[in-house]
């Protein structure tokens, strides 16, 4: 299959009113004391301010949530982009907005990243993946005239202090629906003294268009398809027009993966050699998927040996690649229509259903988030005898009687990934082997978050809730333990794909063979 990723495709339009979101009213805020006075303020640059463009950028837009309203502070010296979920310098609408506001206001743009060593559930393997991505992000930001400053500590502390230090006129961040991310944003909004706007940069269709929790894929799908063409468009790549020489004087960590890992001193699940983070690696994987797998994706995506998926879930989780980049390449390819439709269903409909679940259900990481019918049937069957029970430690170490389940658990321990079809079976067996549904949910989520490279993600929360608590599913014929929650048996699952080949491949990985996702 002939595919190409053309940078010029993302530079088609310089008409920012269509491609770069903004929100709020173009108001101003009073001057603030403190900070360096050597950089020209917005007031001093007044002749270079494009009021019409600013007003357009700050107009209401479904991709933007305004936390602190207003336009750039006239006493400010720069626009700050707080990079957190969208850890990339390309196809990033949050970065685009920061640059566009800076250009319209005649101000330079600087990015800050707060690197905390105690993110809940994150392990050494996750931190390695993250810091590898920072190098690519820093290089891509620099190419666009924006310096990236990395500082160790909680973003809730780093961002307001940094904004005061550089005398920010305006702060742009990326949206994040998970609990930790939301709390960070609330604290930052409380402590900032300038406007703060958040851009929903890691979904195709803005989450604000779905203000209520969706029941299932069938309810969100038509809503997404109605507006998909409006939002699935190439993003312009604009550059900051106003350099800021003082950026070189700002304190920050060297963006070096080994150096940052030494400074973080995090432990937990070991690093995964060869599983590389960053935009460059994500684009290599995307090219491989388009070239070798997309034209049989609809037929073979549930086959784990060999994988036919994109293997981009971790890069999507860390924001190293935009879902828009993936979807546009699929649409523009010459792959059969059914294959393109299948990848867009998974990438947009199913993924954004998971984001909706996390954004609209405060109990997303608990069994309580599951539908009433599932909670009732699980409670009705709570006293059913469990033929086999395993402790959390036995499950973690893959010490069960089930060779297929053990292979799936060993794959994630060794490689940081597990094929999606196996994930469903894996979680449902944890329910079957646990004393109750609530403890099964907790164990499954703990193992998922600690070992999967894409752990702590809306897809993972929705996946565990689907498997154990019937989320986004429907009642099925009643069975022991599961009640009317969907059941998956060893016999039926192993016949759906070449399970013997899968088990053999995991054994080869145990002996030191290469994991499935190696990219040359």
Residue-wise pLDDT tens digits, 424-437:
999 999 999 999 99
Gyration radius (Cα) of the chain, Å: 24
Residue-wise pLDDT tens digits, 193-235:
999 999 999 999 999 999 999 999 999 999 999 999 999 999 9
Place of tokens 């321990």: 413
Residue 45: per-residue pLDDT: 56
Q: How confident is the model at residue 479 (pLDDT cuts 50, 70, 90)?
A: very high
Domain boundary among 237, 258, 279: 258
User: Is 125 exposed, middle or buried (CB count within 10 Å of its CB: 0-12, 13-18, 19+)?
Assistant: buried
Residue 29: per-residue pLDDT: 31
Say whether pLDDT at 98 is over 90: yes
Mean pLDDT of the chain: 91
pTM: 0.91
Domain boundary among 258, 288, 322: 258
For residues 248 and 379, membership in a common domain is answered with: no
Q: Examine residue 269 and state whether it is found in any structural domain, yes or no.
A: no
For residues 249 and 109, membership in a common domain is answered with: yes
Q: How confident is the model at residue 7 (pLDDT cuts 50, 70, 90)?
A: very low
| Pick from 29-43, 126-140, 370-384, 482-496: least confident | 29-43
Residue-wise pLDDT tens digits, 225-268:
999 999 999 999 999 999 887 777 899 999 999 999 999 999 99
Angle, in degrees to the nearest 10, between helices 420-432 and 403-415? 120
Say whether pLDDT at 33 is over 80: no
Place of tokens 């390695």: 128
Which residues are CB-contacts of 109 (< 8 A; sequence separation ≥ 6)? 78, 79, 80, 81, 98, 99, 102, 145, 146, 240, 242, 244
Say whether pLDDT at 468 is over 60: yes
Residue 287: how many other CB atoms lie within 10 Å: 15
Q: Examine residue 20 and state whether it is found in any structural domain, yes or no.
A: yes
**Residue 489 backbone dihedrals phi, psi, to 5 degrees:** -100, 160
List C-alpha distances in Å: 171 to 35, 101, 208, 229. Answer: 16, 10, 20, 29
In terms of residue numbers, what domain contains 479?
367-510
Q: Examine residue 203 and state whether it is found in any structural domain, yes or no.
A: yes
Q: Examine residue 69 and state whether it is found in any structural domain, yes or no.
A: yes
| Residue 136, domain CATH | 3.40.50.620
Residue 415 has, within 13 A of its CA and on its CB side, a CA count of: 24
The structural domain count of the chain equals 2
Say whether pLDDT at 411 is over 70: yes
Domain boundary among 196, 224, 258: 258
- Percent of the residues in the chain that have a pLDDT greater than 70, as a whole number: 90
Q: Examine residue 361 and state whether it is found in any structural domain, yes or no.
A: no
């Amino acid at each position: 299959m002939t595919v190409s990723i053309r940078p010029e495709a993302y530079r088609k339009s310089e008409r920012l009113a269509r491609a770069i979101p903004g929100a709020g009213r173009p108001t101003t805020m009073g001057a603030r004391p403190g900070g360096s006075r050597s950089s020209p303020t917005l007031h001093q640059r007044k002749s270079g301010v494009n009021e019409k463009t600013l007003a357009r950028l700050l107009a209401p837009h479904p991709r933007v949530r305004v936390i602190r309203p207003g336009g750039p502070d006239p006493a400010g010296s720069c626009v700050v982009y707080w990079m957190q979920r969208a850890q990339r310098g390309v196809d990033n609408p949050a970065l685009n907005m920061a640059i566009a506001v800076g250009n319209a206001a005649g101000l330079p743009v600087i990015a800050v990243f707060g690197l905390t060593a105690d993110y809940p559930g994150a392990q050494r393997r996750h931190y390695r993946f993250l810091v590898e991505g920072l190098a690519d992000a820093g290089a891509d930001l620099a190419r666009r005239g924006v310096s990236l400053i990395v500082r160790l500590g909680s973003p809730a502390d780093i961002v307001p202090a940094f904004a005061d230090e550089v005398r920010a006129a305006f702060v742009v961040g990326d949206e994040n629906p998970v609990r930790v991310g939301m709390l960070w944003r609330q604290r930052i909004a409380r402590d900032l003294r300038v406007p703060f706007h958040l851009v929903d940069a890691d979904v195709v269709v803005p989450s604000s268009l779905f203000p209520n929790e969706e029941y299932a894929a069938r309810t969100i799908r038509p809503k997404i398809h109605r507006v998909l063409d409006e939002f699935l468009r190439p993003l312009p790549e604009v550059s900051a027009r106003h350099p800021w020489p003082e950026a070189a004087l700002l304190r920050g960590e060297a963006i070096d993966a080994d150096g940052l890992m030494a400074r973080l001193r995090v432990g937990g699940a070991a690093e995964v050699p060869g599983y590389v983070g960053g935009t460059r690696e994500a684009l290599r994987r995307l090219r491989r998927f388009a070239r070798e797998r997309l034209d049989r994706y609809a037929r073979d995506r549930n086959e784990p040996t060999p994988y036919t998926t994109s293997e981009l879930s971790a890069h999507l989780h860390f924001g190293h690649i935009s879902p828009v980049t993936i979807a546009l390449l699929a649409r523009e390819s010459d792959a059969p229509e059914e294959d393109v439709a299948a990848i867009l269903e998974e990438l947009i409909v199913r993924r954004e259903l998971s984001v909706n679940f996390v954004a609209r259900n405060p109990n997303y990481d608990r069994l309580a988030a599951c539908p009433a019918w599932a909670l009732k049937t699980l409670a009705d069957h709570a006293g059913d005898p469990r033929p086999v029970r395993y402790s959390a430690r036995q499950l973690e170490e893959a010490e069960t009687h089930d060779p297929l389940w053990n292979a799936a658990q060993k794959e994630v321990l060794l490689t940081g990934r597990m094929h999606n079809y196996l994930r469903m079976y894996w979680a449902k067996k944890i329910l079957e082997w646990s004393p109750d549904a609530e403890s099964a949910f907790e164990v499954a989520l703990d193992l998922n978050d600690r070992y999967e490279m894409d752990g702590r993600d809306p897809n993972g929360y929705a996946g565990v809730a689907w498997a154990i608590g019937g989320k986004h599913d429907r009642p099925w014929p009643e069975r022991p333990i599961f009640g009317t929650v969907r059941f998956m048996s060893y016999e039926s699952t192993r016949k759906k794909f070449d399970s013997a080949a899968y088990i053999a491949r995991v054994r080869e990985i145990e002996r030191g063979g290469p994991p499935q996702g190696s990219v040359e």
